[in-house]
A and B are shown apart, each in its own frame.
Chain A
Amino acid sequence: MNLLFFELQNVFLPEAILLIFIIFNIVATLTFGKRIYKFSSRIALFAVLLPLITITAGIAHGGYTIFSENYIQTNFTMVMRVLILMGTFFTILLSQNIIKKLRFRAFEYYTILLTSTFSAMCLVGANDFVPMFIALSGMSISNIILIAYWNKYKPKEAAIKYLISSAVGMGFFLFGASVMYGISGEMNFNLLNLHYYGQDSSLLFVLASMFMVFGMMFFAGCVPFNRWIPDVFQGSPYPVCAYLSFVPVVAGLSILARFFGNIMTEAPLMQLILSVIAILTIACGFLAIIRQTDIKRFLGYSAVAQSGLMLLGLSIFSSYGTASFVYFAIVYLFINYGIWAGGITFVACAKSDNIEDYKGLFYIRPYYTSAFVFCIAALAGLPPTAGFLSRLYLYSSAMRIDLSGLPVLLIVLLITVAGIYGYFRLIGIMFDKSAKRELFYKEQMNTKIVLYFCTLMTLVTFFFANQIIWLSMFAALDL
């Protein structure tokens, strides 16, 4: 018992703290929530900050397993869990506007959000198919509730769409996992690793892992399963979109990285499939943003393209590729939340989701727009932002193994031109001098903080790239 507690403290402490707060939120919803709903945001922020501190302060160390090797903590999972927690932290900051409308139902909202975060963290650390499946179901169910929760929007259809796609995705995953169990008799990653060591090229194994990968593709919004993203985004409020475009994506791709790093260390066929999926995803995202008129769909498709780029990093099957993925994810955290914070600000300003209504916003809010444009430049991968370096690192990792990366690189870069066109179109509309408008709106302090902080962080991750790349290498070497 004592030993278990020690291990819990070392590995599961952040999740345990989160769990305690989730239970607290449930109790508050049912009993005394009406009296203290004004503090709900602060409580939720505290619930995220505390695990963040426990992970970063090194109370939780790497290299431990608990629950009979079902759950693992490595450098990689530590970094990724920090990213997920920071994503939730920003989401809570951005949710201020929603909370005003929800009033004493705020605790419900935070219960769902924190449950989703908890599941995402568990997914990253899962070392066995069973906890992985549990975490996946927890994440998808809480996301469905998060989408279907709102009355004002058109969420029900989106939630049904998410439900069906996630069911299909999880079906794929279960099928793959069971085939893998059937041919090896193991479910634990460590034991699977022993079993498959040196016989990666077995076709059945590749087929099974392909199904498993497809299950994860759903959460990352990669190509066969990306249809839910624009519709769900259109039907959800902004903070939920920001959350869905970062946390599940990173969680799904991290477990893939761990799966590839630990079990399938070498599989040329799988590499080919992954690069093809990555290219298709990037193409789908970047080609679709050219003609979007709705800002949410625009950002949704751009999120698809970004997750495709992250998948490209994973498709390299080496620690360089994983390191570039980690660096990309760190940078993308700030870019993503900066972009969505800018979106919230401008929707409050333009009172519309239509991009054409953003005309001339620069002349009303020059500093907001500059920060927003800065984030868009980072999303498009232009210097002087960390977006440029993350692309550079990713592309150069794609070439690291041999020259087979060259055609992939050429195709990806060709598609990127379309993306640039889309992003410059958005910038051009915001700077359009023909529109003259005067709009007033109440500034939201939290949104402002998130926007400026994220813009600053894209610069910081650019100037201190050496240190952050060191961190990503540190994470990638211990999956």
Chain B
Amino acid sequence: MFDITSLLSLNIIIFAPAVAALIVASPLFGTNQIYIRRFTKTFATIHLLYSLFFVAYYLYGSDNFYQEITILGNSWLSKLGINAAFGADGFTILLCAFTSLIFLFVFIISKTMIRTKHKMYYALMLVLFSSTLGIFCAKDMFVFLLFWQTELIPIFLLISQWGGVKAPKAAQKYILYNFSGSLLLMVAMISLYYYGYHANGTLSSSIDFLRIYQADNIFPELLQDIIFWCLFIGFAVKLPIIPFHTCYTSCLTEAPAPVRALISSVLINTAAYGLIRFNLDLFPELFTKFAPIIMLIAVTGILWASFGAFKQKEIVKTTAYINIVYMGFFLLGLSAANKTGFDGAFFIMFANIFVAAALSIMTGYIEQTFKTKSFQEIAGLGKFAPRLMSLSYIIIFAVIGVPLTISFSGFFLVFSGAFSADFADALMPKICTAVSFVSFILLAASGLRLLDGCFGGISQTEKKYNDITGHRLMVLLILCLFIIFFGCFPDSLMSFYSDVTDMLAEVLRV
């Protein structure tokens, strides 16, 4: 009998963008920008539909996907004990589908925001697409690392080629930070790999395999701690967590709006995903041991970044700090180490995808029309752009967590999870939650300041500006619809990953 699952291949979903990148980059394709744009948009639409089939199949059969990479009939790199395979559960599938969606939106808005070197731009974007999906689906540490490092050169070129004046420097800084982070990941992964080999006699870097022998607790304690913190810092650089955030804010200010939308929504989610898959899933005991420290880091980060968001003079920097606050809340929910906290953290992750993308597109439009980044020169936009203003209200309300928007459920769950965290020092989670409440007010203030600074006040220029129209309006509208839909029906999102959070909470409790 014909099996429908044979059509759903993770290899296709991950490597198809890379093949598309090769097609776009090949000399046969020509340099006509219209064809290039149409090709990439059509490709992204087909990719989105294909990934929706995965989502539908998961909903119908609630089955996980698993597929090996084989070359010449053998598993790729089995000689090094690398289990080159992709796997996906509900959480991963949903992330992949949303990644596909955001990439489609980014391709659509690139039409007006990218005006030169289309061939290279779309080829690099497609490579980035492929590697992001690879990170989400990797079932092996080294495959994960491979896709993680593949992102470096495309991001470097995307920021430095289409960014602002200081973009090359910012790109270099971002790459150096990220590369150093990935080297820490490499150290941790290689130590895990060989310690497993010495303890078990089996050479394997598969995550599932590591999880099994990790449970036996065979590592010396100090080494475990070192590996844990290497992984944590490696992911923290990209997340970004406070001491490492300068590369993120500077690169976000300089990057072109579509790339900014990608970095702030999808790419920082790869770091969050890594934190969940490695630090939490592989080291549950250590995670509970270090949870208070992580909570302190998260709360400091939230406080610092919300102050930062409040005092910025440029709209883009404000949005960058808002992203950092979101990731701080993600970490706060994770550090609560209970089911509610995990649910909240995962929800914040998904909320960040939509909110950050919408914020980037909004600020990108304002930046493009006004040719400036500072609040003062923008004031009074509401007079010219009522449509943009009404959509921005929805976005900013989502940022500050007003009920019936996507972030509300996330914030609520994070706060309740963190408040009920079961630490040795019973008072500490309470205080931390209270402090993060205070910074939540700052976040709300900076969000409203963003809104007021852009749309309120009286315009100082005589010039007339156009309202948002066409494809950008459509993209923002759809993002706002997603924000409201998931705000009204949070269960529809949570049903995908409740298995994962259940399992994680179960592991922690034992």
Contacts and interface: CB of A to CB of B under 8 A. Distances in A.
A465 B142 CA distance: 14
A162 B171 CA distance: 40
A466 B161 contact: no
Contacts of B149: 382-383, 388
B146 A464 contact: no
A81 to B, nearest CB: 23
A180 to B, nearest CB: 34
A384 B191 CA distance: 22
A219 B206 CA distance: 40
Interface stretch (A171-179, A334-342, A345-353, A398-406): A398-406
Contacts of B179: 417, 420
B186 A395 contact: yes
A454 to B, nearest CB: 18
B72 interface: yes
Given A384-B146, A417-B180, A431 B157 contact: yes
B193 A396 contact: yes
B80 A424 contact: no
From DSSP, what is the main secondary structure of chain A's interface residues? helix
A433 to B, nearest CB: 6
A409 B190 contact: yes
B49 interface: no
A56 B339 CA distance: 61
Interface string B158-185: 0011000000100110011001100100
Contact of B76 (A366, A406, A466): A466
A399 B156 contact: no
Given A400-B194, A466-B76, A467-B72, A392 B172 contact: no
From DSSP, what is the main secondary structure of chain B's interface residues? helix
Contacts of A417: 176, 179-180, 183
A383 B145 CA distance: 9
Interface in B353-386: none
Contact of A469 (B80, B150, B153, B171): B80
B153 A428 contact: no
B342 to A, nearest CB: 31
Interface residues of B, number: 42
Nearest to B156: A424
A464 B150 contact: no
Interface centre among A393, A410, A466 (most CB of B within 10 A): A466
B27 interface: yes
A279 to B, nearest CB: 15
Contacts of B80: 392-393, 396, 469
A463 interface: yes
Interface string A422-456: 00110110011100000000000000000000000
A406 B149 CA distance: 21
B270 to A, nearest CB: 15
A399 B190 contact: yes
Interface string A458-473: 0000011111011001
Contacts of B27: 367
Interface in B37-87: 71-72, 74-80
Given A377-B153, A466-B71, 13 more contacts: A396-B190, A399-B193, A403-B195, A410-B187, A424-B175, A425-B172, A428-B156, A431-B157, A464-B71, A464-B72, A466-B74, A466-B79, A470-B79
Interface of A: 366-367, 370, 373, 377, 382-384, 388-389, 392-393, 395-396, 399-400, 402-403, 406, 409-410, 413-414, 416-417, 420-421, 424-425, 427-428, 431-433, 463-467, 469-470, 473
The 6 closest A-B pairs by CB, nearest first: A413-B183, A399-B194, A469-B79, A383-B146, A383-B150, A396-B190
16 contacts: A367-B27, A370-B25, A395-B186, A399-B190, A400-B197, A403-B191, A406-B187, A416-B183, A420-B176, A421-B176, A424-B175, A428-B171, A463-B71, A464-B71, A466-B75, A466-B77
